[in-house]
Amino acid sequence: MRILFGAGELKNVAVEAKKLGSRACVVSYKELAFLQPLMDKIEGMLRQDGMEVFPFYEVEQNPEIKTVKRGVEFCRSNQVNLVIGVGGGSAMDAAKAIAAGIHYEGDLWNMVFSRHDNVQAVPPTTSLPTLMIPTLPATGSEMNNWAVVSNCELKEKSYIWSPCLYPKTSIIDPELTLTLPPLQTACAAADTISHVLEIYLNGEEDSDVQHYFQEGVMRTVIDNVGKVLDNPADISARAHLQWAATCGINGWASPGDAWTPIHQVGHVLTSRHRVQHGASLAILMPAWMQYMYSRRPAQYFRFARNVMQVSVEGKTQEEVILEGIAHFRAFLSDIKVPLTLREENITENDLQAIVDGVVKVSFGSDGMLKCNPPVSREDIMEVLKLAF
pLDDT tens for 17-67 read 999 999 999 999 998 888 999 999 999 999 999 999 999 999 998 899 999
113, containing H or E segment = none
Closest by CA position to 340, among listed 382, 386, 292:
386
- Cα dist from 26 to 22, 47, 74, 327, whole Å: 12, 12, 11, 42
Whether the pLDDT of residue 256 is over 80: the answer is no
Confidence (pTM):
0.93
Residue 116 banded pLDDT, cuts 50, 70, 90: low
pLDDT tens for 96-109 read 999 999 999 999 99
Model pLDDT, residue 63 = 95
Residue 120 banded pLDDT, cuts 50, 70, 90: confident
Q: How far apart are CA 261 and CA 268, in angstroms?
A: 12
Residue 158 banded pLDDT, cuts 50, 70, 90: confident
Residue 48 backbone dihedrals phi, psi, to 5 degrees: -60, -25
Mean pLDDT of 248-252: 89
Model pLDDT, residue 33 = 83
Residue 119 banded pLDDT, cuts 50, 70, 90: low
Mean pLDDT of 141-154: 93
Model pLDDT, residue 352 = 97
Mean pLDDT of 270-297: 96
Mean pLDDT of 151-179: 93
pLDDT tens for 259-271 read 789 999 999 999 8
* DSSP helix, strand, coil percent of the chain (3-state; round to 5): 55, 15, 30
pLDDT tens for 187-216 read 999 999 999 999 999 988 888 999 999 999
DSSP 192-258: HHHHHHHHHHHS-SS-HHHHHHHHHHHHHHHHHHHHHHH-TT-HHHHHHHHHHHHHHTSSTT--S--
- Cα dist from 38 to 33, 64, 87, 175, 363, whole Å: 10, 24, 10, 11, 41
pLDDT tens for 314-362 read 999 999 999 999 999 999 999 999 999 999 999 999 999 999 999 998 9
Residue 364 banded pLDDT, cuts 50, 70, 90: confident
Model pLDDT, residue 114 = 74
Q: Which phi-psi region, left, alpha or beta, contains residue 8 (left: φ > 0; alpha: ψ -120 to 50)?
A: left
Average pLDDT, rounded, for the chain: 94
Whether the pLDDT of residue 287 is over 60: the answer is yes
Model pLDDT, residue 270 = 93
N- to C-terminal Cα separation, the chain: 42
Q: How far apart are CA 169 and CA 197, in angstroms?
A: 27
> What is the percent of the chain where pLDDT is above 70?
98
